[in-house]
Amino acid sequence: MTNTPPLSCRIGHGYDLHRLEPVAPAGAGRPLRLAGLLFDHPSGPVGHSDGDALFHAVTDAVLGALGAPDLGGLFPDTDPRYENADSALFLDAAAQRMRDAGFTVGNLDATIICERPKIGPHRTTLGANIAERLGCPPDRVNVKGKTHEQVDAVGEGRAIEVHAVVLLLPAAG
């Protein structure tokens, strides 16, 4: 393990899934938010925080690239401070760790998997919201949507799933 060259870049992967239920008062679901964007949708995530699965997956991707503890380790869902929390604060904390470690975003790619709502019309907004929090140009963040072909929990609209991959590069200067 000697003579190992210093790392010039880091890759990280994040994943999140939230169960979807009818939005309160009809059920236990919170209003559906992805990267902070509020969707007018009859079902939403069950979760301790606001349940923003896109911010959660992106946060875990950044933390993973840094070799840091994951979202659940840093912000336990047993901590009442994070009940109904705006998940932007989790991503902001990960972004601060990234800057402190001397890295910036090379690029980030995220895939949202759900039957509804349709992601395509919102992908630019979602990417811009993530880029803003990470302090990088919007063209470094790509967000896309896929369906689950109507099978299993995601395909039946009972869950939403997000995968994210990020490449971190040394910050200039």
Closest CA to 122 of 33, 14, 1, 15: 33
Q: Report how far residue 30's alpha carbon sits from residue 90's, in angstroms, rounded to the nearest whole number.
A: 18
User: Which of the stretches 54-62, 72-80, 99-107, 132-140 binds Mg ion when contact is defined by CB under 5 A?
Assistant: 54-62
Q: Which is nearer to Mg ion, 88 or 140 (CB)?
A: 88
Using the rule CB under 5 A, is 50 a contact of Mg ion? no
User: Which of the stretches 3-11, 50-58, 77-85, 145-153 binds Mg ion when contact is defined by CB under 5 A?
Assistant: 50-58
Using the rule CB under 5 A, is 16 a contact of Mg ion? yes
**Count of residues of this chain found to bind Mg ion when the rule CB under 5 A is applied:** 2
Using the rule CB under 5 A, is 33 a contact of Mg ion? no
Q: Report how far residue 39's alpha carbon sits from residue 57's, in angstroms, rounded to the nearest whole number.
A: 18
Q: Which is nearer to Mg ion, 33 or 56 (CB)?
A: 56
Applying CB under 5 A, among 56, 122, 133, 140 the residue interacting with Mg ion is 56
Name, in order, each residue with C-beta under 8 angstroms of 59's C-beta and a sequence gap of 6 or more.
14, 71, 87, 90, 91, 93, 94
Cβ atoms of 18 and 162 within 8 Å: the answer is no
Query: Least CB distance from residue 47 to Mg ion, whole Å?
Result: 6
User: Which of the stretches 31-39, 56-64, 76-84, 93-101 binds Mg ion when contact is defined by CB under 5 A?
Assistant: 56-64
Enter the tokens of residue 153. 């929990």
Q: Report how far residue 165's alpha carbon sits from residue 163's, in angstroms, rounded to the nearest whole number.
A: 7
Chain contacts with Mg ion (rule: CB under 5 A) = 16, 56
